[in-house]
Amino acid sequence: MTDRRPAGNPLWRAYEMLAMGLGLGLLAGLCLAWLPFALLLTRLLPAAHGQRLGRWMIMAGFRVYLRLLEIFCACRFDLGDLDRLRGEGALVIAANHPSLLDAVLIVSRLPNAVCVMKAALLDNLLFGAAARLARYIRNNAPLEVILGAREELRAGAQLLIFPEGTRTVSFPIDPCTPSTGLIASRSGAPVQALLIEFSTPYLGKAWPLFRPPQLPLTCRVRLGRRFPPPTDVTAFTAELETYFRQQLASPATA
């Protein structure tokens, strides 16, 4: 990707700082706006109706958020490939994890996506109510995650998981954990690889939350290979990691 950033321009640097504050504020504002409704609807709606509405609202909210980033914060997101997954039924969606924005990007296009989330995020005041309404899976004991994921996949959901387990430290990808293969093997669902590419490692593991981005920020999410449900989890995990490493070392041109 070509870097069109006006290097050394203090006004542009000030704009990058403003965009950082605006981007974080917009996300917090959208979450706060939905918070009281999510809390109330979790109590009032049957689980199935709440789950469906909760996932759709998260998708819609993230889509609005990304559009605002494009309008006000010099961001460009190429997410068209994700639309091809809508309506395809149960999938384990395995993506590399360069940034805090990764789940936002993917879920913004998939109305029946379910995420495995850290317990701290599910209990967080800002994000927890929406995630609980959508019946996201709490990342507590591994067996509970696998059973919860299997139940969701058998109901037709698309499960988003990051095989690295956390954001990438050593690019292009860190070692993959066996969780993706275990879930796919136990549920019988295929694994759809997604390849996420950013122009800079914004909000990556080594990028502090309040460090301004380098704008324009561009991101592309492209469909990778679809793997059948594995029979050998160890071999599959090694194969998946090798595939990500090869594909991300030589990113496709737009």
pTM check: above 0.85: yes
In this predicted model, what pLDDT tens digit does every residue of 115-163 receive, in sequence order? 998 888 888 888 899 999 999 999 888 889 999 999 999 999 999 999 9
Chain segment 2-61, per-residue pLDDT in tens: 445 565 688 999 999 999 999 999 999 999 999 999 999 999 999 999 999 999 999 999
Question: DSSP string of 182-208?
Answer: HHHHHHT--EEEEEEEESS-TTSTTS-
**Which one-letter DSSP state was computed for residue 95?**
E
84 touches 92 (CB < 8 A): no
Fold of 10-249: Glycerol-3-phosphate (1)-acyltransferase (3.40.1130)
Give the whole-angstrom CA distance, residue 96 versus residue 165: 9
For residues 100-121, average pLDDT: 94
Residue ranges covered by each domain of the chain: 10-249
Residue 5: other Cβ atoms inside 10 A: 17
Q: What is the pLDDT of residue 253?
A: 44
Phi, psi of 38 (to 5 degrees): -65, -40
Q: What are phi and psi of 94, to 5 degrees?
A: -110, 120
